Amino acid sequence: METINTEMMVQIVDKMGDIIIENEVYFCELDSVAGDGDFGMSVAKGFRQLKTDWEELAKDDIGAFLKDAGMVITEYCGGASGPIWGSAFRAAAKSARGKSEITVAEFADMLEAAVAGIQKRGNAQLGDKTLLDALIPTAVAWRDAAEQGLDAIAAMDAGAKAARDGAEKTKSMTANKGRASYVGERSLEHPDAGAMALGVIFTELHRFVAG
Amino acid sequence: METINTEMMVQIVDKMGDIIIENEVYFCELDSVAGDGDFGMSVAKGFRQLKTDWEELAKDDIGAFLKDAGMVITEYCGGASGPIWGSAFRAAAKSARGKSEITVAEFADMLEAAVAGIQKRGNAQLGDKTLLDALIPTAVAWRDAAEQGLDAIAAMDAGAKAARDGAEKTKSMTANKGRASYVGERSLEHPDAGAMALGVIFTELHRFVAG
Amino acid sequence: MKKLINNPESLVVEMCEGMAYAHPDKLEFKKRHKLMMRKNPAKDKVVLISGGGSGHEPAHAGYVGEGMLDVAVCGDVFASPSTIQVYNAIVDTETDAGTLLIIKNYSGDIMNFEAAAEMAEDDDDIKVAKVYVNDDIAVKDSLYTVGRRGVAGSVYVHKIAGAAAEAGKSLEEVTAVAQKVIDNVKSIGFALTSCTVPAKGTPTFKLEETEIEFGVGIHGEPGVARQAMKSADELAEECVDLLAKDLPFNAGDEVAVMINGFGATPLQELYVFNNSVYRQLAEKGIKVHNTLVGNYMTALDMAGASVTLLKLDDELKAYLAAPVDTVALKGV
Amino acid sequence: MKKLINNPESLVVEMCEGMAYAHPDKLEFKKRHKLMMRKNPAKDKVVLISGGGSGHEPAHAGYVGEGMLDVAVCGDVFASPSTIQVYNAIVDTETDAGTLLIIKNYSGDIMNFEAAAEMAEDDDDIKVAKVYVNDDIAVKDSLYTVGRRGVAGSVYVHKIAGAAAEAGKSLEEVTAVAQKVIDNVKSIGFALTSCTVPAKGTPTFKLEETEIEFGVGIHGEPGVARQAMKSADELAEECVDLLAKDLPFNAGDEVAVMINGFGATPLQELYVFNNSVYRQLAEKGIKVHNTLVGNYMTALDMAGASVTLLKLDDELKAYLAAPVDTVALKGV
Ligand SMILES: Nc1ncnc2c1ncn2[C@@H]1O[C@H](COP(=O)(O)OP(=O)(O)O)[C@@H](O)[C@H]1O
Ligand SMILES: Nc1ncnc2c1ncn2[C@@H]1O[C@H](COP(=O)(O)OP(=O)(O)O)[C@@H](O)[C@H]1O
Ligand SMILES: [Mg+2]
Ligand SMILES: [Mg+2]
Ligand SMILES: [Mg+2]
Ligand SMILES: [Mg+2]
């Protein structure tokens, strides 16, 4: 698979929703150790609404679809996750505006836009023990894959691995951003919930696309 | 022992305090099933204060001593127990006014006066599942003992047995007076706390006096 | 038992002092007889005295102040104050207008308040009237029992009798309107957990995750029946059905509603429950004129709630709306 | 989990409706965006908007009304309301005087309130100012963290900014006095039990009978340290020592004190604790000008309490004493 078309992207986001909803309780548990235990709920809520509104989402092109999805996520994801995931989707939408097919390089552009969107809103850096510690390495992996000429499935594989490794590394970080920062040193040894979730999501998505 | 003198009465009340304080937790437990669990505390509080004020209590004669004791009990016993035990002591005091020695018959008078004092205040009858179900049989037993010419120790033995039997019978009564009445049928099978306590107190007092 | 206290013995005095420190403009605490006194009451009005065991905070001290009580007599946790305490409350606040004792229908309270009233009347020639609050419909009222307990309905008795006293009504008039409230107020409650009496240190009863005690009072006694846990809507239906039948409350009646928390129930749940109760009442055509939601008459750290309905007429409405400025009730 | 609710999904809406039913004279609930609106606010004053996750009842809806907030934006339990909700609150209440957002310093709240403010400014030309409440001294304030959380101190920000807005002050003036409160208010709290988030159904953390979490916030997160349970006096000493050092509060300072329960703590214990705190402050020569004791900023059914100190000057005293008539705060 060299490129990803609108239909594929719609399926990927649909599957992403399934993964999040299935893992709702697990994601909450991840957030319980140093956070307030609602992360799974917050994200699942938005994706559940996405499924409710599914028929009404634009499917004209990747950009239009991601923009509509981003609006629902912004409104319905709870807590910090609404603006974080919402701005990620809307930034990605901007980057894919008008496109009904994207290459691995364009997918990397989209991920980088998502990172920038999240940073604009939340002001976090690599190492701050947030989901960016999984998402930034994923974007880097996609960029590398594009430069190496890998296809989308291989890029997804590399991206998922990068997310898992990034999430793993959050274990040794003391949180700076988000609620885990309130427990300071006590968040050591525990990974960040958002980063771990991205590891799970990207891994499952690769399995799904690879068939 | 044909009669009970002031010194003996002072010792009996002192010992009564010890028994109540030792059984505080047990008496509370008895009150937990259908009451509010504070009976042991309520009574012990008054008798503890009695010990604190001990030196200041009149010891001129039985009546004077019981009156002073009754005042402390009225003020310091908590809840229903203050007026019940207080009026019992004060009615007994009236009946023994000016006496420094009482016969078994006079002791029976005193117990009957105590019963009347409690009834004046609390309006309960035999069978209402209160401590009167132990105290009334005790008074009857003392009256019988007086008529049979028994001595004080034998009367105490009979009185204690009557109290225990009376307390036992409260198991099959539904409470009418006091808080146990609020749980209605649910107080069946459980004895009344106050009646049980009198059984324990009179039994221990007999053991103490019999030596 | 994990409680934010120092020790059970000094608890009531420390609590009362903590309350007086927090509200120095409204309250004065007399430690010797544990009397929470209103600061600067009118000298010529009927005096209102209530009280009872502690553990029902904000009752009763929270209802001392303008438009409600003159004194709250504080007993130990769940134990009536002694005769001597009540007697001192009466004597310390004597006015020419006389004194009304608002007594909850519990043997301990009755015995102590009545004995104190007798002493004040006989020894000090003070005019003392008494009313007995008995709003708890959990208990069957029959010749053979001591009758029904007084629970959260007491708050309305304090409020309305307080307004009448503040308005300069006579002892007979204040007593009559207090009695009118008592005749028209009914409550029913349930517990999700037991409370723990500090001096005892362990819960009075044990409930499983799936159980509640229905028909509990405010002393941590078990209720009249153990039931399966239900939803807020189902509990509201059960409570409103029982209450409506009892007075009865009928379609067209106007009521004041109190959703009372027992101490450990979050306001969030009380408001959810109010929503359920409101809709139940609406279904029966009973009109809500006024609502109180909060911890008004508690049982230490018990989780659970009670519903109180007071049937209103114009007189009661006017007194209910009269100014009030106490720690626990300001405006209604 | 045993809660007096119907189900976690409908909880917030049912609670808000239950609240609006109870206080129809003060509140109006707009369900679409979960906005609790003040009935009949002045048309020409600065608009005050606060809000955040639910589960902090009576916050934030309980502070809507005369002398405090115009809107409380209600998120789900412990989850910030969305950007769209906040945006609608701003647009629906627009006046010429401008809008102040009172934001608790949490990443979720910050992101959503800021994004909403940008939308309202950019798309609707509404003047929006923002303040960030960060009174929780449990968290070290450093360049490397998101800074301190906003907790119970928010109530004083609402109260004093609300009084200034009601007095007709400009957006700049209201913002300045809100910031002055923030600069002078500090809080510290501890939990005796965890709370249970309804959707999760089990406690967020587990504490033994002998343990407390010290330095907790209001979202059921664990605190900064697990400690052995202590007496009220010892906890008061620990809290007051930390607070006094932080601002610092010195001998001769006059303060407002809030003893805030987290939801499941009985008033009895809060008053005992106030007694302990009052005596600690007296020892340090800090003068208590005003005290609030009760459940003002809760964390569902968590047992525990927080202490808030606000250093007062004449301006703050005057605004603190100004009339206020909301569900949760009436008179101070
Ligand atoms: N400033 C931020 N930038 C990026 N991600 C963040 C930021 N703050 C929090 N997060 C992510 O959000 C997750 C928590 O989300 P959620 O539980 O919904 O929010 P809340 O902290 O409001 O409860 C964290 O695990 C972290 O990955
Ligand atoms: N009216 C009454 N007459 C006689 N005894 C009574 C009466 N009411 C209660 N009692 C006795 O008092 C005991 C309970 O005392 P206590 O627990 O101190 O009072 P309370 O019911 O106020 O908690 C009961 O077990 C019963 O024996
Ligand atoms: Mg979270
Ligand atoms: Mg008892
Ligand atoms: Mg009792
Ligand atoms: Mg959250």
Q: Is the pLDDT of residue C143 over 70?
A: no
Is residue B84 lining ligand 2, measured as CB closer than 6 Å?
A: yes
C246 plus C216 within the same structural domain: yes
Q: Using CA positions, which residue lies closest to atom 17 of ligand 1? A: A39
D17 plus D39 within the same structural domain: yes
Closest ligand (CA of C53): 5
Closest ligand (CA of B131): 2
Mean pLDDT, chain A, whole residue set: 93
Assess if residue C293 is contained within a domain: yes
Contact D280, D243 (CB under 8 A): no
C175 plus C211 within the same structural domain: no
- In ligand 2, the atom with minimum distance to the C-alpha of B79 is 22
Any idea what the CATH number is for the domain that residue C88 is in? 3.40.50.10440
Q: What is the pLDDT of residue A184?
A: 67
Give the pairing type, strands C99-104 and C47-54. Answer: parallel
Phi and psi dihedrals of C288, rounded to 5?
-85, 115
Assess if residue D3 is contained within a domain: no
Contact D279, C17 (CB under 8 A): no
Going from the C-alpha of D51 to that of each of B164, C137, D70, the distances in angstroms are 64, 40, 11
Going from the C-alpha of C278 to that of each of A134, A211, C270, C284, C314, the distances in angstroms are 49, 54, 12, 10, 22
Q: Is the pLDDT of residue C181 over 70?
A: yes
Q: Of D183, D215, D244, which residue sits at a domain end?
A: D183
Comparing C-alpha atoms, which of B45, B58, B114 is closest to residue B86? B114
B50-64 as b/e, with b when 16 or more CB fall inside 10 Å? beeeeeebeeebbbb
The ranges of chain D with pLDDT < 50 are 143
Q: Of C117, C152, C183, which residue sits at a domain end?
A: C183
Instruction: Look up C60 and say whether it is catalytic.
Output: no
Q: What is the pLDDT of residue B189?
A: 82
Helix (H) or strand (E) holding D47, with range, is strand D47-54
**Best of B30, B131, B187 for a ligand 2 pocket test (most atoms within 8 Å of beta carbon):** B131
Contact A1, A9 (CB under 8 A): no
- What is the tally of structural domains in chain C? 2
Tokens of C270: 């009380």
Is residue B79 lining ligand 2, measured as CB closer than 6 Å?
A: yes
Assess if residue C332 is contained within a domain: no
**Closest partner residue to D15 among C212, C264, C268, by Cβ?**
C268
D130 plus D32 within the same structural domain: yes
Assess if residue C72 is contained within a domain: yes
Contacts for C122 with CB less than 8 Å, ≥ 6 apart:
none
Assess if residue D269 is contained within a domain: yes
D176 plus D216 within the same structural domain: no
C57 plus C164 within the same structural domain: yes
Comparing C-alpha atoms, which of A38, A43, A53 is closest to residue A22? A43
Domain that holds residue D267: 185-327
Q: Is the pLDDT of residue A34 over 90?
A: no
Write a three-state SS string for A76-90. Answer: HCCCCHHHHHHHHHH
pLDDT band at C222 (very low <50, low <70, confident <90, very high): confident
Phi and psi dihedrals of A26, rounded to 5?
-60, -45
Those chains having 3 or more beta-carbon pairs within 8 angstroms of chain A are D
- How far off is chain A from D199, nearest CA to CA, in Å? 8
Assess if residue D45 is contained within a domain: yes
Q: Is the peptide bond before C60 cis (omega within 30 degrees of 0)?
A: yes
Q: Using CA positions, which residue lies closest to atom 8 of ligand 1? A: A178
Q: Is the pLDDT of residue A103 over 90?
A: yes
**Closest partner residue to D275 among C14, C301, C305, by Cβ?**
C14
CA distance C8 to C32: 18
C53 plus C174 within the same structural domain: yes
C159 plus C137 within the same structural domain: yes
Instruction: Look up D289 and say whether it is catalytic.
Output: no
Tokens of D199: 């959707």
* Chain C residues lying within 8 Å of B28, measured CB to CB: 200
| Per-residue pLDDT tens digits for B46-88 | 999 999 999 999 999 999 999 999 999 999 998 899 999 999 9
**Best of A28, A39, A136 for a ligand 1 pocket test (most atoms within 8 Å of beta carbon):** A39
Contact A113, A86 (CB under 8 A): no
pLDDT band at A174 (very low <50, low <70, confident <90, very high): confident
CA distance D77 to D56: 8
Give the pairing type, strands D185-191 and D304-311. Answer: antiparallel
Q: Of D183, D206, D237, which residue sits at a domain end?
A: D183
D137 plus D223 within the same structural domain: no
The neighbour count for residue C91, using CB atoms within 10 Å, is: 15
Q: In chain C, count of helices (H) and strands (E)?
A: 8, 14
Contacts for D259 with CB less than 8 Å, ≥ 6 apart:
C22, D270, D271, D273, D274, D277, D291, D292, D293, D294, D305, D306, D307
Contact D51, D102 (CB under 8 A): no
| Per-residue pLDDT tens digits for A122-170 | 989 999 999 999 999 999 999 999 999 999 999 999 999 999 999 999 9
Is residue C145 lining ligand 2, measured as CB closer than 6 Å?
A: no
Any idea what the CATH number is for the domain that residue C249 is in? 3.30.1180.20
pLDDT band at A37 (very low <50, low <70, confident <90, very high): confident
Q: Is C1 exposed, middle or buried (0-12, 13-18, 19+ CB in 10 A)?
A: middle
State the DSSP code for C35. E
Strand partners, D50: D72
Q: What is the pLDDT of residue D254?
A: 98
Contacts for C75 with CB less than 8 Å, ≥ 6 apart:
B78, B79, C12, C34, C51, C52, C53, C54, C81, C82, C85
D83 plus D210 within the same structural domain: no
Contacts for C164 with CB less than 8 Å, ≥ 6 apart:
C46, C173, C174, C177, C178, C319
Assess if residue C316 is contained within a domain: yes
Assess if residue C191 is contained within a domain: yes
Is residue A191 lining ligand 1, measured as CB closer than 6 Å?
A: no
Counted residue by residue, chain A has a size of 211
Q: What is the pLDDT of residue B183?
A: 67
D138 plus D258 within the same structural domain: no
C302: helix, coil or strand?
Answer: strand
Q: Is D130 exposed, middle or buried (0-12, 13-18, 19+ CB in 10 A)?
A: middle
A83-99 as b/e, with b when 16 or more CB fall inside 10 Å? bbbbbbbbbbbbbbeeb
In degrees, rounded to 5, the angle at the alpha carbon of residue D102 between the alpha carbons of residues D97 and D105 is 150
Across the interface, whether the CB atoms of C200 and B42 are under 8 A apart is answered no
Strand partners, B124: none
CA distance D290 to D312: 10
> Which of A172-186, C299-313, D113-127 has the least mean pLDDT?
A172-186
State the DSSP code for C64. B
Q: What is the pLDDT of residue B2?
A: 84
Comparing C-alpha atoms, which of C117, C126, C65 is closest to residue C86? C117
CA distance C6 to C58: 19
Comparing C-alpha atoms, which of B85, B80, B76 is closest to residue B178? B80
Across the interface, whether the CB atoms of D75 and A79 are under 8 A apart is answered yes
| Per-residue pLDDT tens digits for A64-87 | 999 999 999 999 998 899 999 999
Phi and psi dihedrals of C7, rounded to 5?
-155, 155
Helix (H) or strand (E) holding D54, with range, is strand D47-54
Q: Is the pLDDT of residue C144 over 80?
A: no
**Closest partner residue to B38 among C78, C115, C205, by Cβ?**
C78
Closest ligand (CA of D77): 6
Domains of chain B listed by start with CATH number: 3-210 (1.25.40.340)
| Per-residue pLDDT tens digits for C2-53 | 999 999 999 999 999 999 999 999 999 999 999 999 998 888 999 999 999 9
D157 plus D285 within the same structural domain: no
